[in-house]
C-alpha cells in the first residue's frame, strides 16, 4: 500500500487532470488558463498546478497520456513487435477507435487540432503526443513484417497510411461530417474489416 502522502499526491494529480480535460474540452489549449483548470479541479491555488506539471503543455500531454488508451499501448512497443500481425493490427485499430468514446477528450482533441492549423507549436505538440508515435510504431512493425517475408514488398510509410486511412475516414464520417449510414457501422465491424482487407493486400 502506498504511503498516505503518495495517495494524496496521486489524488490531487488526478483532480487536476480531470479539471484540465474539462477545460481543454470547453476552451481548447490556447484559451485554457491555470485559473480555469484550478477551478474545475476544485483546488484553491492555480499555482499549485506547477507542483504536479511543468507547464500547460506538460499538463496537456499528461491529460492525453492518462485518458487515451493508445498512449499506454505504445509504452510497450517491444512486446507488440513480437506478436502476429493480425493481433497487433486489430489491437492498434481498436484502440484508435476507442479513443473517440471519451466524448470530453474527443471534444478537447478537436479544439486543439483546430488550433494547430494556426499555431505550429501546438501542431508539433499534438503530433509528438499521438500521431507521430503511432505512425513510427506501425512503420517499424510493418517494416519488420516486410523484411521477414511475411508481407509483400512495399514502402512501409505507404503501408502505414493504407492501414490508417480507412480508420480516419470512419472517424471523420461518423464524428465530424456524419453520413446517413454512419450509425449502422459498428467500430468492431470497422476494425475487423479494415484489418482483413489490409492483410489480404499485404500478406504473401
Q: Report the distance separating Cα 29 and Cα 21, nearest Å.
A: 10
Mention every residue, 6+ apart, whose C-beta is less than 8 A from residue 141.
Answer: 80, 81, 85, 88
Nearest to 194 by CA among 98, 100, 90, 99: 90
Q: What is the pLDDT of residue 99?
A: 77
Q: What is the pLDDT of residue 4?
A: 57
Q: What is the pLDDT of residue 1?
A: 40
pTM of the model: 0.80
Q: Report the distance separating Cα 91 and Cα 98, nearest Å.
A: 10
What cell does 147 get?
Answer: 523484411
Domain boundaries, the chain: 4-65, 69-202
Q: What angle do CA 132, 112, 20 make, to 5 degrees?
A: 105
Domain covering 4-65: architecture: Orthogonal Bundle (1.10)
Q: What is the pLDDT of residue 2?
A: 47
Q: What is the pLDDT of residue 152?
A: 96
CATH assignment of 69-202, among 1.10.357.10, 3.10.20.30, 3.40.30.10, 1.20.1260.10: 1.10.357.10
> Digits of tens for pLDDT over the chain (204 positions)?
445 578 888 899 999 999 998 999 899 888 999 999 999 999 988 999 999 999 998 998 888 877 776 677 777 788 899 999 999 999 999 988 887 887 877 887 787 788 888 888 888 888 887 788 889 999 999 999 999 999 999 999 999 999 999 999 999 898 888 888 888 999 999 999 999 999 999 998
Amino acid at each position: 500500500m502506498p504511503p498516505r502522502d503518495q495517495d494524496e499526491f496521486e489524488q490531487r494529480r488526478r483532480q487536476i487532470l480531470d479539471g484540465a480535460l474539462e477545460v481543454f474540452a470547453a476552451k481548447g489549449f490556447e484559451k485554457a488558463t491555470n485559473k480555469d483548470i484550478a477551478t474545475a479541479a476544485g483546488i484553491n491555488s492555480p499555482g499549485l498546478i506547477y507542483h504536479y506539471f511543468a507547464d500547460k503543455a506538460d499538463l496537456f500531454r499528461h491529460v492525453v497520456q492518462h485518458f487515451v488508451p493508445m498512449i499506454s499501448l505504445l509504452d510497450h512497443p517491444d512486446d507488440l513487435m513480437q506478436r502476429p500481425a493480425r493481433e497487433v493490427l486489430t489491437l492498434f485499430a481498436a484502440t484508435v477507435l476507442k479513443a473517440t468514446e471519451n466524448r470530453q477528450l474527443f471534444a478537447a482533441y478537436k479544439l486543439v487540432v483546430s488550433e494547430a492549423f494556426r499555431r505550429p507549436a501546438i501542431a508539433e505538440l499534438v503530433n509528438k503526443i499521438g500521431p507521430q508515435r503511432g505512425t513510427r510504431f506501425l512503420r517499424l512493425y510493418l517494416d519488420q513484417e516486410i523484411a521477414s517475408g511475411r508481407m509483400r514488398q512495399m514502402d512501409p510509410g505507404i503501408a502505414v497510411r493504407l492501414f490508417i486511412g480507412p480508420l480516419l475516414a470512419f472517424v471523420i464520417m461518423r464524428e465530424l461530417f456524419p453520413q446517413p449510414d454512419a450509425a449502422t457501422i459498428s467500430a468492431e465491424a470497422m476494425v475487423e474489416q479494415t484489418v482483413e482487407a489490409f492483410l489480404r493486400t499485404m500478406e504473401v
